[in-house]
Structure 1
Amino acid sequence: MVLGSVEPAQEIVLSPRVSGQVLELAPNFVPGGMVQKGDLLLQIDPADFTSVLSERQSALQQAEASLEIERGRQSLARKELDLLVDTIEEANRSLVLREPQIKSIRAQVDAAKALVARAQLELDRTKIEAPFDAQILSRSVNVGSQVAPGDELARLVGIEKYWVIATVPVRSLHWVQFSEADGEGSSATLHNPNTWLPGAERHATVSRMIGALDQQTRLARVVMTVEDPLARNTEGPPLILDTLLQAHINGRPIEDVIRLDRDYVHERDTVWVMKDGKLEIRETDIVFRDADHAYIQDGLESGEEVVTTTLATVANGIGLRKVNESAPEDESLNTEAAD
């Protein structure tokens, strides 16, 4: 079991791209409100931008009209040039056909089109829309507020998924699968015994590891992804940002090991074993530890009798006797040193 904090996978500070007065706010543009991608959240007064767009469109129409007039002049010049085939030098033909004037007016038309597009873009930016499905965390403006580029309008978090960032001992990383590296991440079960109802849980997938240790705990940090964190279409409690949750990560299968209570593992990973009525101090190879158990790959065989009591004298070969004859199912037993 590890502890992890609930963090947003998507979070933005919403800011305007143009200046103006706020005319309208959407009814659900409030703290806690739910919005969908493309929903109109806020309308800035478009009057000035509409006026600029009209001016730019008029300038474009004038430039296009000038281009049509110049093309008419070019057509007449071409007819005159056909009558003077051998009297005009080739270098002067472009001047007679008014090609420099045509190029100049075409450039004016292109510039006018760019100004119209810019004016239309700024008009469109008076409408502030939700960039993704989100929940509003905070709002900093109201109807009548004067806003400018860079001002904070609101904070939004995406609601498609949240992250749970947990700290894990570095030695345990070998047993964890990451979806971004391995294709399929380890599954995890999340609990909050302090606030959730008994038996309530959420499920997550281990996505990746953050490439730096936690500076305070010196533990590795892993990111778990929770889909539909607000449980709109999922059974289970909704997640609240910044909550501390318990996470049980299902790691890679550990094969050919014996699970033993950690209380029965002593200094230098030794285990006390009773064999033929005598104490054997076994050195073991522990490949993994969790909160309650050690997983031993070498040094202990299934069915051997593990000493579970504290001994006054600990030395290889001392005599032992069982306190009771019926050993527990985990092959451990209570013993005492024989006189």
Structure 2
Amino acid sequence: MSQPIDENAVRPERGKAGPLKTVFVSLMIVLVGVALIWLIFKTEPSATRSDTARETAMLVDVQSVTRGRFTPTVEVMGQVVPAREITLGSQVSGEIIYQADAFTPGRHVEKGGELLRIEPADYQATLQQRRSELQQARAELEIEQGQQAVARQEFELLGEDIKTANQALILRKPQLEQARARVSAAAAAVQQAELALARTRIRAPFPAQVLSREVALGSQVSVGQSLGRLVGIGQYWVEATVPLSKLRWLTFKEAPGSPAAPVTLFHDTVWPAGQTREGQLTQLVGELDTNARMARVLITVEDPLALEEAAGAPPLILGTFVRAEIAGRALVDVVRLERNLLRRSNTVWVMEDRKLAIRDVEIAFQNEEYAFIRTGLDSGDKVITTDLASVVSGARLRLEGDQEEGESERGDRNE
């Protein structure tokens, strides 16, 4: 006969083994996790150098450069001013009795063309009076010459020795000189009267454009009064300012017939697209511009209103500001590079063997558009034209064709 099992005696033993089993299981889980992590890192595939280069090479555009002879330009701004300007003034007084139609602001007048006429009656009368006085003086001179001849005959008949001083008195030499002087004075008075009469006609001293008129028909004018303003239409000047550092690159017209730097003028907002005017750099003004502290130069433009040789070209307007490109002295054996390809601290990015090279360059001259490189670049160098966010010397580069070739290779491997 079996004995009954005491359940209360068994339960306390199970309670003691439970915590040990939990700790053991947790420890095993941690060990297995660590082993799995170590295995993952140990068996991770590593990328080869060629694959990394293909994926990280920067796509760029390049342009080849060439050394050669170039003529740089200096770009400046200038104001159109007259090369020849006068203010007409009256040299006689009187009433304006005639006014030419051409004597109107904006119109052109020929050299010698009559613009105004002052009432000449008074000056004609004065001239007639002076001519009469001249005739009278000449008559008196003839009379005195006759009296001198009579006196000489009488002196010869006497045959006496007379001192030289007394001879002059006897022969009436002082009276003769006095008569001659009166003739000269009368002739000068006639000439003066003729000038005054001629000055009643106001004429243009050279081919000109009328800028202003200050009198009208019937006006009373006095000597020295301003009548109007004229400017010559044969030449205009463009007065421009140039940085002092660029003066050595410019050639001025030192003498008539000597060469001078050619200049191209632009007036982008006024002239039709593509139209320009030509001029010459003629003179360096020996004074700095007081505002900009730059050198003042004069550019001469022939036929500025396009009336003769420059017919069909846009006319220049006095007082306007135009842009001028002055041809500088020629640069030999240099590289011409677009200004935006010149990087910080006068460096240039160049592609060498599909790698980025940062070149230090020496700049001979630079303007708004180009930089002319003396040293640092050679013919055939490939200058990078792409703006890169990250620039590291030796970084790998690729061109558009290289990218397409890499993609084709990867497609072949996938197949």
TM-score by length of 2: 0.73
Please, which runs of 5 or more residues in structure 2 have no aligned partner? 1-74, 403-415
Q: Amino acid of the residue matched to residue 238 of structure 1?
A: P
1:144 paired residue number: 218
The structure 2 residue matched to 1:72, chosen from 113, 127, 146, is: 146
- 2-side partners of 1:175 and 1:202: how far apart? 22
SS at match of 1:42: strand
1:288 paired residue number: 365
Query: Post-superposition shift, 1:157?
Result: 0.6
Is structure 2 residue 293 aligned with structure 1 residue 218? yes
Preserved contact between residue 357 and residue 394 of structure 2 (Cα < 8 Å): no
Structure-2 change in CA distance of 1:216 and 1:89 (3 Å) = closer
SS at match of 2:291: coil
Query: Post-superposition shift, 1:88?
Result: 4.3
- 2-side partners of 1:162 and 1:326: how far apart? 55
Structure holding more helix per residue: 2
- 1-side partners of 2:327 and 2:162: how far apart? 89
Is structure 2 residue 235 aligned with structure 1 residue 161? yes
- 2-side partners of 1:38 and 1:135: how far apart? 13
The structure 2 residue matched to 1:306, chosen from 383, 386, 398, is: 383
- 2-side partners of 1:96 and 1:126: how far apart? 49
2:265 paired residue number: 190
Query: Post-superposition shift, 1:326?
Result: 5.5
Please, which runs of 5 or more residues in structure 1 have no aligned partner? 328-339
The structure 2 residue matched to 1:26, chosen from 82, 87, 100, is: 100
> Which of the two has higher C-alpha Rg?
2
2:58 paired residue number: none
TM-score by length of 1: 0.88
State the identity as a percent: 48
The structure 1 residue matched to 2:276, chosen from 201, 226, 229, is: 201
Query: Post-superposition shift, 1:325?
Result: 4.6
Query: Post-superposition shift, 1:87?
Result: 5.8
Is structure 2 residue 318 aligned with structure 1 residue 265? no
Give the structure, 1 or 2, with the largest relative contact order (CA under 8 Å, sep 6 or more): 2
Aligned residue runs from structure 1 range 299-338, under 5 A: 299-307=376-384, 308-312=386-390, 318-325=393-400
Is structure 2 residue 208 aligned with structure 1 residue 134? yes
What's the Cα RMSD here?
Answer: 2.2
- 1-side partners of 2:235 and 2:167: how far apart? 68
Q: Which deviates further from its counterpart, 61-70 or 267-276? A: 267-276
- Cα offsets for 1:223-265 (capped at 9, x unmatched): 2211111111223111111122222222222111112222232
Q: Amino acid of the residue matched to residue 250 of structure 1?
A: A
Preserved contact between residue 77 and residue 324 of structure 2 (Cα < 8 Å): yes
- Cα offsets for 1:211-230 (capped at 9, x unmatched): 22322223323222111111
The structure 2 residue matched to 1:54, chosen from 100, 103, 128, is: 128
Preserved contact between residue 201 and residue 237 of structure 1 (Cα < 8 Å): yes
- Cα offsets for 1:8-57 (capped at 9, x unmatched): 11111111111111111112111111111111111111122222222222
Query: Post-superposition shift, 1:132?
Result: 0.5
Number of residue pairs the alignment of both structures matches = 324
Q: Which deviates further from its counterpart, 302-311 or 140-149? A: 302-311
Structure-2 change in CA distance of 1:125 and 1:222 (3 Å) = same
